[in-house]
A = this chain, B = another copy of it.
């Protein structure tokens, strides 16, 4: 079997400087930056920004038009005020509003925004899913 894990998330981006500025405005610090690629240390995994054309080529399909939106990266928070703050900060950094945070049917509180390339982030509070001390998530 293949281990049940994710070690790296790579976002294909139209303009590396634009995307890097967006994530910097959220308060994020790049851990490594090389020619054409930026790496952020996350909670036990790494997030990368990489040119979408380069990503298509790397994936073995140079020239392909890559889509976005069918995958959500979520950040869970310990309370609704932190969700509101994260959403407001993203919009002030230039994110596209998709859904303002609100109470949702499953008993939590959730909003969505899109980054400069259309990659979708959810910001949420789930009272049934407490976070570990380091911000990681272990299902109850």
A interface residues with partner B (beta carbon < 8 Å): 1-12, 26-29, 31-32, 39-47, 52, 55-56, 58-61, 64, 66-76, 85-86, 89-90, 98-99, 110, 112, 117-120, 122-124, 131-132, 134-139
Task: Specify which of B28, B59, B75, B99 is in contact with A69 (CB 8 Å cutoff).
Answer: B59
9 interchain residue pairs of minimum CB distance: A67-B67, A1-B27, A60-B99, A44-B136, A66-B70, A8-B74, A12-B70, A44-B44, A66-B69
Q: How many copies does the complex hold?
A: 2
Closest chain B CB from A91 CB (angstroms): 12
Name 12 extra pairs, CB < 8 A, besides A2-B123, A7-B137, A8-B73.
A1-B27, A2-B85, A4-B27, A5-B43, A8-B137, A9-B9, A41-B138, A44-B44, A44-B136, A52-B70, A59-B69, A59-B72
Closest chain B CB from A34 CB (angstroms): 9
Q: Are the C-beta atoms of B32 and A4 separated by less than 8 Å?
A: no
In the bound complex, CA of A66 to CA of B70 (Å)? 5
* 5 A-B contact pairs sorted by A residue (CB < 8 Å): A2-B26, A3-B135, A4-B42, A5-B136, A6-B43
In the bound complex, CA of A5 to CA of B136 (Å)? 8
